[in-house]
Chains A and B, each alone.
Chain A
Amino acid sequence: MGDEDTADQQWASRYDALVDELRAEARRRREQGLVPADFEERLDAHARSLAGAAAPLPERVRQALAPAAARPALTPAASGGARSAVQAWAARAVGHSLRVLASRIDTLADATTAAVLAVAEAVTHPADHTHADLVASLDEVRDRLAGLDRLPAGGLALADLRRRVEALEAALRPVERGWQPWYRTGGLDELDDRAGGGGAGRAVRAARLAEHVAARQPVLDLGCGSGDLLALLAERGVAARGVDTDAQAAGRALARGLAAATGDALEALAAADDRSLGAVVMAGVAERLAPDQLADVVASAADKLSAGGVLVVDSLEPDAFVAALARDPRVRRPVDPAYLEWLCRQAGFEGVSVERGAGDDRYTLVATA
């Protein structure tokens, strides 16, 4: 960590304390009546007049939308229900769209009825009505109709509904991508270790990765497996959570008391708030991703890491790829460190370095946001 980073972190904690002190001082001055009271009352009145009619959403709409922000957290407690929480959110969103649509149709029906009655009345008693009254009624119908047909391809409400149904379908699809073998895939990792694939072995690699990320919390470990890195970080008191598509591996991590969940790496990363993570780790994952998935993970990591945060990618050297491909069916394509470095710089990472251990057939890339 650079001197400037350390100074920034120290200032961040000092700043919070400073603001608290200033607030306490302001409270003291208010209590002691050291300033004219009507100042603040007038300010509140002004604030109400400016913002009071900002028409906050009706409570029922606010409640219907709230789950969209509350994505399922990747904590041990939530991991079992993560998929069902996503489905429930998507289902509620569809329900909300249906209610909006129904309410618009209701309004249109009311306006149409009123217009028909006005026309009937005008025909019965022509002398009592002006042209303008009728036009206004018909305009109202036209406006309501336009409200249902504001977007191409069927109108706003319908297009919105279609999007939400798609989201629901996506949530109902299995979280895992691609081929799911009948055997326990965790066994492949043990095979890899025995064959000397990956050189130093997973435990040693995890220790090396822990060095890179220990000072950068919170850590998100994409493809955490049975939690070797998470365990090392937990020992050091570093806040970390992980996600893995392999439910058995994630289950073993959970059983060790670690914050792991079953899920897709891209979705887990996308669900994090922007600039909220200290480190994102991908060990043994890059070589299993499709090119667009890898590019998306790197781009998303650039958005999710806080200032000075690191993306750490541990992957196979292209030279060792053929042996790994023959041994592990999950491996899809080699990722050249030069390409990965270029990709990170395109995504806006500032410092990128690549490290290799002696006799190791893996490399570790560290990109600093």
Chain B
Amino acid sequence: MRILYVVQRYGADVAGGAEQHCRQFATRMAARGHHVEVLTTCAVDARTWEDRYPAGDEQLDGVTVHRLSTPRIVDERLYDTLGWEVLWSGRRVPPALVEVWLRAQGPVSTVLVPWLADRSAGFDVAVFFTYLFWTTWAGLRTAGGRVPTVLHATAHDERPFWLPIYDTELRSPDAYAWSTEEERDLLRLRGAGAVPGSVIGVGMDPAPRGADEHGFRARHGLGDRPYLLVLGRVDPGKGSTDLAEWFAAYKRRRPGPLALVFVGERAVAVPAHPDVVATGFVSDAERTGALRGALALVQPSWFESFSMVLAEAWAAGKPAVVQARNPVLAAQARRSGGALPFEGYVDLEVALDALRSDPELAARLGQAGRRYVEHHYNWERVLARYERLLTLARRRFAARGRRRPPGHLIRGSAA
């Protein structure tokens, strides 16, 4: 199959979950003998979209990557002001202004639409990642009708998701690759019920052996203290600051050696506390070492469409404690039997007390999580499901017949 991926960022230095997810699929589909190309930007940082990779083509792990430059044409002050107006004011904002906000969010490339108009029909299927960004909003519209399309929406219940500007986009793919059953239900509620799809999730490799737990402990001054681990960006929207505050309260009520370790880039500073450590961004090897030594993973995030870090912890046989107000985390915990749920401080306290006082319980939770990941997120199974999904999209496209390309009104783009 000739597969084209369209994604806002792509590369080894890119930290976002959806982008890593895309890279995993592209690389592994190429390894299975498919011809895979990626259309993306030169950006690494999702806030500035500044060009960091050179524009042009490169080969990466058997995949041809086409990088487009994304000159930032709207200043951040305008983006923030518009963002408040569009997302938070509660007023009805004219569609043209919402589109300005969407473009200001970035990344926008003047070349993306003509590239897809010219070349997307040469692929068997075009796969888009993340409903939120302009690359998907404009790209799906251009490729739809020219080539079968699949969308990994990586959607969760957040304000932008409900904006009418996404109505068309969310209904237009030939098929959806849902991360979880909960994401599927959310998209159906949003009006995308007519689009078929499959719950694909993400594949997970078994945790590498020989991870250097002691090196991690030594580098961050943890000695032999037990610690809870939080993986991912330190951000109030991810629940990190609430968790730090609750942990401080927990330590007042349960003094002892227990520490809380945040591993991930810092969008905000972590509140200073003698028992809270923030390492910043670390290498994959160090991250695995951090997991190996942890008592449990805590996932306090309010917004997740899958939570790769949770699957990562389970793959390493670690138990987890998860924010159950997030329906995806609550359901994953229930399905796997590998995590204890909490909503508020008291639940967290009860869960931590239980984990610390009963090592056998912690081990059993971790084991259940590992079995769950091995069964559902084994790459071989995930990719078999995925190939069936791409075939479904192609069949659906063929059944509907080739439609007239949507750009036919634009001078010079007529097919």
The verdict on A199 contacting chain B, using a C-beta distance below 8 Å, is no
B344, A152: Cβ atoms under 8 Å?
no
Flag if A69 contacts B188 (CB, 8 Å). Answer: yes
Residues of chain B lying within 8 A (CB to CB) of residue A50: 237, 302-303
- Indicate if the CB atoms of A303 and B198 lie closer than 8 Å: yes
In the bound complex, do residue B346 and residue A302 qualify as a contact, i.e. CB atoms below 8 Å apart?
no
Given contacts A39-B246, A139-B96, 4 further A-B contacts (CB under 8 A): A26-B347, A151-B168, A274-B199, A347-B388
CB <8 Å contact, B159 and A55? yes
Residues 381-410 (chain B) with a chain A CB within 8 angstroms = 381, 384-385, 388, 403-406
Is B349's CB under 8 angstroms from A35's CB? yes
| 13 residue pairs bridging A and B, Cβ less than 8 Å apart | A11-B364, A15-B368, A19-B340, A39-B346, A61-B191, A65-B193, A69-B185, A140-B96, A150-B168, A152-B403, A163-B194, A346-B384, A348-B380
Say yes or no for A8: interface residue by CB 8 A criterion: yes
Q: List the A side residues contacting B16 at CB < 8 Å.
A: none
- Check B385 against A51 for contact (C-beta < 8 Å): no
Contact B95 A143 (CB under 8 A): yes
Q: What's the minimum C-beta distance from A220 to chain B, rounded to whole angstroms? A: 18
Question: Which residues of chain A come closer than 8 Å to B375, judged between CB atoms?
Answer: 307
0/1 string, A56-94, CB within 8 A of B gives 1:
110001100100110000000000000000000000010
Of B86-94, B122-130, B215-223, B225-233, the one contacting chain A is B86-94
B406 touches A152 (CB 8 A): yes
Task: Tell me whether A156 and B168 are in contact in the complex, defined as CB-CB below 8 angstroms, given that A11-B364, A68-B188 are known contacts.
Answer: yes
Name the residue of chain A whose CB is nearest to the CB of B372.
Answer: A307
B172 to A, closest residue via Cβ: A151
Q: Does B354 contact A (CB under 8 A)?
A: yes
Does A99 sit at the interface, judged by CB under 8 A?
no
Contact B350 A22 (CB under 8 A): yes
**Distance of A158 from chain B, by nearest CB (Å):** 12
Asked whether, in the complex, the Cβ of B171 is within 8 Å of the Cβ of A160, the reply is yes
- Given A151-B172, A156-B168: A302 touches B344 (CB 8 Å cut-off): no
Which residues in A have their C-beta under 8 angstroms from that of B354?
18, 22
Q: Does B337 contact A (CB under 8 A)?
A: yes
Contact of A40 among B90, B96, B344 (CB under 8 A): B344
Given contacts A65-B191, A303-B198, contact A35 B346 (CB under 8 A): yes
Once the chains bind, are A46 and B242 in contact (CB under 8 Å)? Answer: yes
Please give, as numbers and ranges, the residues of chain B lying within 8 Å of A302 by CB-CB distance. 384-385
Q: Does A190 contact B (CB under 8 A)?
A: no
> Is A211 part of the binding interface, using a Cβ–Cβ cutoff of 8 Å?
no
The chain B residue with its CB closest to the CB of A47 is: B325
User: Known: A57-B189, A156-B171. Contact between A167 and B346, CB under 8 A?
Assistant: no
Contact bitstring A159-196, B, C-beta under 8 A = 1, else 0: 11001100100000000000000000000000000000
Which residues of chain A have C-beta atoms less than 8 A from B341's C-beta?
A: 19
B52 CB to nearest chain A CB (Å): 31
Which A residues touch B194, using CB under 8 A? 93, 160, 163-164, 167
Q: Which of B144, B246, B302, B340 contacts A151 (CB 8 A)?
A: B144
The answer to whether the Cβ of A153 comes within 8 Å of any Cβ in the partner chain is yes
A307 and B237 alpha carbons, distance in the complex (Å): 34
Question: Is B21 in the interface zone, CB < 8 Å from A?
Answer: no
A30 at the interface (CB under 8 A from B): yes
- Would you call A326 an interface residue if the criterion is a C-beta within 8 Å of the partner chain's C-beta atoms? no
> Closest residue to A156 on the B side, CB-wise?
B168
Q: Name B407's closest neighbour in chain A (CB-CB).
A: A152
**Contact status A150-B141, CB under 8 Å:** yes
| Cα–Cα distance between A26 and B321 once the two chains are bound (Å) | 15
Is there contact, CB below 8 Å, between A43 and B242?
Answer: yes
What is the distance, in angstroms, from A276's C-beta to the closest C-beta of chain B?
Answer: 10
**Shortest distance from the beta carbon of A136 to any chain B beta carbon, whole Å:** 8
Within 8 A of B (CB), among A1-45: 4, 8, 11-12, 15, 18-19, 22-23, 25-26, 29-30, 35-36, 39-40, 43
Q: Is B51 in contact with chain A by the CB < 8 A criterion? A: no
B-side interface residues, number (CB < 8 Å): 64
Q: How far is the CA of A159 from the CA of B192 in the complex (A)?
A: 13
Which residues in B have their C-beta under 8 angstroms from that of A275?
Answer: 335
Q: CB of B157 within 8 A of chain A?
A: yes
Please, which residue of chain A has its CB at the minimum distance from the CB of B141? A150
Question: A348 with B384: in contact, given A39-B246, A54-B157, A57-B189 (CB under 8 Å)?
Answer: yes
A299 is an interface residue with CB less than 8 A from chain B = yes
Q: Chain B residues with Cβ under 8 A from A22's Cβ?
A: 340, 347, 350-351, 354
| A347 & B384 in contact (Cβ 8 Å cutoff) | yes
Q: Are A43 and B345 in contact (CB under 8 A)?
A: yes
Provide the A276-317 mask, 1 if CB < 8 A to any CB of B, else 0: 000000000000000000000001001100010000000000
Is there an interface contact between A273 and B349, defined as CB atoms closer than 8 Å? no
- A132 on the interface (CB 8 Å rule)? no
A53 within 8 A of partner (CB): yes
For the complex of A and B, the 5 pairs showing the least CB-CB separation, nearest first, are A150-B168, A55-B162, A15-B337, A152-B145, A152-B406
Which of these, A8, A29, A151, A160, contacts B350 with CB under 8 Å?
Answer: A29
Are B349 and A29 in contact (CB-based, < 8 A)? Answer: yes
Would you call B249 and A54 a contact (CB within 8 A)? no
A147 within 8 A of B: yes
B398 vs chain A, min Cβ distance (A) = 13
Interfacial residues of chain B within 150-194, with CB under 8 A of chain A in the complex:
157-159, 161-162, 167-168, 171-172, 181, 185, 188-191, 193-194
Question: Which residues of chain A have C-beta atoms less than 8 A from B66's C-beta?
Answer: none
Instruction: Give the distance in Å from the alpha carbon of A348 to the alpha carbon of B191 in the complex.
Output: 31
Interface residues of B in 215-269 (CB under 8 A from A): 237, 242, 246, 249, 253
| B376 CB–A CB distance under 8 Å | yes
Which residues of chain B have C-beta atoms less than 8 A from A25's C-beta?
350
A310 CA to B246 CA, complexed, in Å: 45
Contact with A along B359-388 (1 / 0, CB 8 A): 001001000100110011000110011001
- A-chain residues with CB within 8 Å of residue B406 when the two chains form the complex: 151-152
A273 touches B193 (CB 8 A): no
Report chain B residues within 8 Å CB of A29: 346, 349-350
Chain B proximity of A67: nearest CB distance (Å): 10
Contacts of B172 in A (CB 8 A): 150-151, 156
| Distance between Cα atoms of A11 and B403 in the complex (Å) | 52
Complex alpha-carbon distance, A86 and B335, angstroms: 30
CA gap between A147 and B340 in the complex, in Å: 45
Tell me how far the C-beta of B198 lies from the nearest C-beta in chain A, rounded to whole angstroms. Answer: 6
Report Cα–Cα, A349/B98, bound state, in Å: 46
Bound Cα distance A230, B181 (Å):
29
List A contacts of B193 (CB < 8 A): 65, 68-69, 93
Determine the distance from Cα of A11 to Cα of B242 in the docked complex, in whole angstroms. 31
Measured CB to CB, the closest approach of chain A to B113, in angstroms, equals 14
Within the complex, what minimum Cβ distance (angstroms) separates B333 from chain A? 8
Inter-chain CA distance A61–B162, complex, in Å, is 13
Asked if residues A307 and B376 are in contact (CB atoms below 8 Å), the reply is yes
Q: Are A11 and B368 in touch, CB under 8 angstroms?
A: yes
